[in-house]
Amino acid sequence: MKNREIIELANEGKVPSREQLIQLLSTFTEEDREYAASLARAKSKETFGNAVYTRGLIEFSNYCKNNCLYCGIRAGNKEAQRYRLNKEEILDCCEQGYKMGYRTFVMQGGEDPFFTDEMFVDIVSTIRKLYPDCAITLSLGERSRESYQKLFDAGANRYLLRHESISPCHYAMLHPSSMSWERRMQCLRDLKEIGFQTGCGCMVGSPGQTVENLADELLFYKEFNPQMVGMGPFLPHHATPFKDEKAGSVEMSLMMLSMTRLLLPKVLLPSTTALGTAEQGGRNRGILAGANVIMPNLSPLKQRSKYLLYDNKTGLGEDASEQLVLIEELLNSIGYHSVVARGDYQGVN
């Protein structure tokens, strides 16, 4: 079967076979990629029109107990200058963000043991009380089911936890042996069962990843049916064991975004900061490939340059409102605009 026909299968709501996906991902041409992007873009427009949802990202702590081999804020990186925001600083970010039109706040941080369940519950319930019309997304890593339940009950709506790889063997190449693929996948199931709009995902082009792995990612998304999928290219960080590894390809990242959009028409799909870092204009290319979410940074400028998962991260210089203006200009230049809306998942769970 021709690559175009495989793309069309997905566009018609059918699931290509593993072999077909492997063929597509290992042989696609620029023309195939453009074709997938145009269908994915049209699919995205059916649900979202030309509107892009914005999420205000609050990177509240770069302390992390984990030692993931790819990540710049891994525990073993002694160069990293560590910081954490207190409750007031987090609420300041929300206040600023709300004024600018954000209706989703994303609290993302390393797995920082300083924050107990009680502290997170206190922060989440305060945001819930102050901003009843906003969605609260958490990205706090692996926690117990009980902890997830408490956070949900406190008013959090969504949870992002990339599984990083659908292959246990590849997962083990990216993480120390103290981390478990099974536990990570159990977290995702717990989150979904509790009722969070749940986001999974992976880096594209991380060391050791194969096209077979990427094909399996797409099949997993189809089966798990997450409300969100986070995917961006792997980018090396100079103070990690992967410092000399090659960055993931922008073209492959775009193809993965388009195929994800075709397989999951309603999924909330961010065009990531990593994509914007890998290539100037990368985030626009993500939108044109079927993504419908952008997550600008609301973290205080003073701390922002310390939350470095990879080198050369974009968006460190402008304050939150300057950033929003730039993003709006970029979106407008390709015929899109941002909206003031919570932007909840609109599909069937």
Does residue number 283 form part of the binding site for ligand 5AD (CB under 6 A)?
A: no
Per the document, the length of the chain is: 349
List of residues 6+ apart from 305 with CB closer than 8 A = 316
Q: How far is residue 67's CA from residue 71's CA, in Å, rounded to a whole number?
A: 8
Task: Count the alpha carbons within 13 Å of 30 in the hemisphere toward its beta carbon.
Answer: 0
List of residues 6+ apart from 340 with CB closer than 8 A = 101, 103
> Of 162 and 175, which has the nearer Cβ to ligand 5AD?
162
Residue among 235, 255, 294, 298 that touches ligand 5AD (CB under 6 A): 235
Does residue number 70 form part of the binding site for ligand 5AD (CB under 6 A)?
A: yes
Does residue number 164 form part of the binding site for ligand 5AD (CB under 6 A)?
A: yes
How buried is 79 (Cβ within 10 angstroms: 0-12 exposed, 13-18 middle, 19+ buried)? exposed
Residue among 309, 320, 324, 327 that touches ligand 5AD (CB under 6 A): 309
List of long-range contacts for 23-29, beta carbons under 8 Å, 24+ apart = 24/255, 24/259, 25/211, 25/214, 25/215, 25/252, 25/255, 26/211, 27/3, 28/3, 28/255, 29/3
Does residue number 33 form part of the binding site for ligand 5AD (CB under 6 A)?
A: no
Residue among 274, 294, 327, 331 that touches ligand 5AD (CB under 6 A): 274
> Of 164 and 217, which has the nearer Cβ to ligand 5AD?
164
> Of 151 and 274, which has the nearer Cβ to ligand 5AD?
274
> Of 16 and 248, which has the nearer Cβ to ligand 5AD?
248
Does residue number 310 form part of the binding site for ligand 5AD (CB under 6 A)?
A: yes
Taking alpha carbons only, the member of 105, 101, 147 closest to residue 126 is 105
- Give the torsion through C-alpha atoms of 197, 314, 307, 92, to 10 deg: -70
Residue among 10, 37, 71, 90 that touches ligand 5AD (CB under 6 A): 71
Size of the residue set binding ligand 5AD (CB under 6 A) = 12
Q: How far is the CB of 99 from ligand 5AD (least distance, A)?
A: 26
- Which residue type is seen at 126? T
Residue among 237, 261, 283, 313 that touches ligand 5AD (CB under 6 A): 237
Of 85-144, binders to ligand 5AD (CB under 6 A) are: none
Q: How far is the CB of 168 from ligand 5AD (least distance, A)?
A: 17
Contact 195, 224 (CB under 8 A): no
Catalog residues that contact ligand 5AD under the rule CB under 6 A.
70-71, 162, 164, 203, 232, 234-235, 237, 274, 309-310
